[in-house]
Chains A and B, each alone.
Chain A
Amino acid sequence: MKKRVVQGFQEMSNKGLRLNLTRKDALIDFLSCLPETLTKTSTRSKIVPGFVSNGQIGDEAKYASKFAFPDFDIMLDTVRREVSKEEYNLCKKTFPELLLYGLKLGEVEEQEYNRLGYPMDEDPCGQEVSKDKITIKQECRQRAKCLSKEYQIEQRHAIVGRHCQVRIKDEKKRDHWSVMWAGKCLPQLSAIMVLFGHVKNDITCLDLNACLLADPSAFKKATTPTGKMMEGCYLYYDTNDGQWIRSGKAVGSNFDKRHKEHSKGSELKDSISQKSKFYSSYPSRSVNLHDNRARKGTFENLQQYIGVGYNKMLKKNMLKDVKDKGIFILIMRSTEGLMPLTSKERADLIQNNAT
């Protein structure tokens, strides 16, 4: 087995894989024994006892049943403090109702627990912690939920709505036709991102606060001779912190020009750049700040990558309406590019989006 793994690494090395020796040896050792480890551990008899011991499934031997149901008493035994008789009875009495609620929405909302009389959670100091105000933005603090439930999927689709609420201060502009148009075209853009391999393999297990973008190795650098001259959408990756931190666009310009503008801005030499969250969060190394609290990194540690880049001379392909076998829904008045919409076109777009 080890011989085959070594051969595999050699073939990948010939195709350009570069790993340091220690990491490569560790991977070879790990992968060589992985099949045997999985064969021995990933068996039903090894996995089931863990779920039986916390009550999530019943003990088949105890219940003499092929389909062992969750064990209420054992599940309650997992609570690390003493459960009072009142709490025990409350759980038993309200379980059917909670189950129906969970089956419908994929989770039981905090208000429902409050309504049924469940005590609030406590922090390590014994202080009650209210979860009433926790929204989908603090999903990690919510109770368990089933992410594949239809209702939960709909909640995730509301991500554009959340973006508007946070970023568009003027409420009247949150249903602006441009936002609606974007919502209509995002599915196509999502498909492009998946096609490019820019999205993580399995996003079903990620919460709303997680980054959905793949590792930088899936992206082309905007700093190559070819990339520099493109326009479109670029991204910045903090190579020190290992995080994607910003997207941007270069239109009527190119990635190289925008990067140079950002580099200049990061020097914080004028009032406009000093007010910029981007530049104050990632100022140039040359800037000597009196207060470093706003600094999240250094501009020199940022690598510019290409999200979607295109050659300016060939961009007409992106400007075909979906009805003409194009990608996006566009309303155009000439082949030269997008034109401002008339009030009637806007009204039509809004109406179409509403249906």
Chain B
Amino acid sequence: MIGYLLELGYDLCIAPDFNISGNPGFEIVLGVNK
């Protein structure tokens, strides 16, 4: 969970136009496999 949180926090700081991640974060917890 901490790993997901850290990833999400930094993901939110990246400019949306250049961020190539489409992951929502917490994929396994959300039951979303990207």
Contact = CB atoms under 8 A, between A and B. Distances in A.
Contact of A245 (B3, B6, B8, B18): B18
A243 B32 CA distance: 28
A277 B10 contact: no
A249 interface: yes
Interface residues of A, number: 55
Nearest to A208: B16
A199 B13 CA distance: 8
A282 B15 contact: no
A282 B20 contact: yes
Contacts, number: 132
Contacts of B25: 163, 167, 179, 182
Nearest to A252: B3
A193 B9 contact: yes
B25 to A, nearest CB: 7
The DSSP consensus for interface residues of chain A is: mixed
Nearest to A207: B15
Contact of B21 (A199, A246, A296): A246
A318 interface: yes
Contact of A338 (B2, B17, B18, B30): B2
A209 B17 contact: yes
Contacts of B11: 163, 246-247
Interface in A231-249: 231-233, 235, 238, 241, 243-249
Given A164-B24, A249-B4, A277-B22, A190 B9 contact: yes
Interface residues of B, number: 30
A173 B7 contact: no
Contacts of A185: 5
A249 B3 contact: yes
Nearest to B23: A167
Nearest to B29: A178
Nearest to B4: A249
Interface stretch (A88-96, A99-107, A210-218, A284-292): A210-218
B18 A307 contact: no
B30 A211 contact: no
Contacts of A232: 3, 6
A169 B22 CA distance: 11
B7 A137 contact: no
Contact of B16 (A160, A209, A233, A338): A209
B24 to A, nearest CB: 4
A199 B24 CA distance: 22
Interface of B: 1-26, 29-32
Interface of A: 137, 159-160, 163-164, 167-170, 173, 176, 178-179, 181-182, 185-186, 189-190, 193, 198-199, 208-213, 231-233, 235, 238, 241, 243-251, 277-278, 281-282, 296, 307-308, 318-319, 328, 330, 338
Given A167-B24, A246-B20, 13 more contacts: A167-B22, A182-B4, A182-B5, A186-B5, A212-B12, A232-B3, A233-B6, A246-B21, A248-B21, A249-B6, A319-B2, A328-B5, A338-B1
